[in-house]
């Protein structure tokens, strides 16, 4: 029997490039040709073959994702997702960010990936507020996991303690609400 969704989601603090999972997700830009932040770290760790494969992909639209091999990374694949630049939260950003999570999870299933790790897409250079982004990340993931038992584990990797704390609070809100709520 499939394990409950809450047990298939893990939150950790760390460097996503170190994870030995089937796929790590990159917070890329539409060129797919590298950049700073987690994108730079992934390209450095994967080696030049990753950029060479990315060059063949013809970029990627915002809110979507494309998959490559992982090369020198412990992860077998990299799913390059392009999050929105945050403006005011009313310019289509929530739907575009949700699209990144949905597309990445769909690509994972299509490529036989059972374990997948996400960074906080759009929460660095692109300026998305962490709590709002975490609600989308965890909300989309729980919906997807409820419908897809092909995925064993989704790991959200936060770079600092504050990010981890925000994700923990959102997990409690959305996935495992306290069971002893008084009326």
Please report, as ranges, the residues that interact with ligand AR6 according to CB under 6 A: 15-17, 27-29, 35-39, 41, 83, 119-126, 157, 159, 163
Nearer to ligand AR6 by Cβ, of 129 and 150: the residue is 129
Residues 6+ apart with CB under 8 A from 23: 67, 70, 75, 76, 77, 78, 79, 104, 107, 108, 111, 113, 115, 116, 117
**Least distance to ligand AR6 from the beta carbon of 84, Å?**
9
Comparing CB distances to ligand AR6, the nearer of 2 and 30 is 30
Q: Whole-number minimum distance, CB 169 to ligand AR6, in Å?
A: 16
Integer Cα distance of 80 and 61 in angstroms: 11
CB of 181 to ligand AR6, least distance (A): 31
Output the smallest distance, CB 34 to ligand AR6, in A: 6
Considering beta carbons, is residue 15 or 49 the nearer one to ligand AR6?
A: 15
Q: Which is nearer to ligand AR6, 8 or 43 (CB)?
A: 43
Asked if residues 8 and 149 have their Cβ atoms less than 8 Å apart, the reply is: no
Does an H or E element contain 172, and which?
helix 161-174
DSSP state for residue 17 in the 8-state scheme: G
Distance CA 171, CA 138 (A): 7
């Amino acid at each position: 029997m499939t394990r409950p969704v809450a047990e298939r989601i893990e939150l950790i603090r760390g460097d996503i490039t170190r994870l030995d999972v089937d796929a790590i997700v990159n917070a890329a830009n539409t060129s797919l040709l590298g950049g700073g932040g987690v994108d730079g770290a992934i390209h450095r760790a994967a080696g030049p073959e990753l950029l060479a494969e990315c060059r063949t992909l013809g970029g990627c639209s915002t809110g979507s994702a494309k998959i490559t091999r992982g090369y020198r990374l412990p992860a077998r694949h990299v799913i390059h997702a392009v999050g929105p630049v945050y403006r005011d939260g009313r310019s289509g950003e929530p739907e575009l960010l949700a699209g990144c999570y949905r597309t990445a999870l769909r690509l994972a299933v299509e490529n036989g990936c059972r374990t997948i790790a996400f960074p906080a897409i759009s929460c660095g250079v692109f300026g998305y507020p962490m709590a709002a982004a975490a609600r989308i990340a965890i909300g989309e993931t729980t919906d997807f996991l409820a419908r897809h038992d092909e995925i064993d584990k989704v790991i959200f990797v936060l770079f600092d303690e504050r990010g981890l704390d925000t994700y923990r609070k959102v997990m409690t809100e959305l996935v495992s609400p306290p069971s002893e709520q008084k009326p």
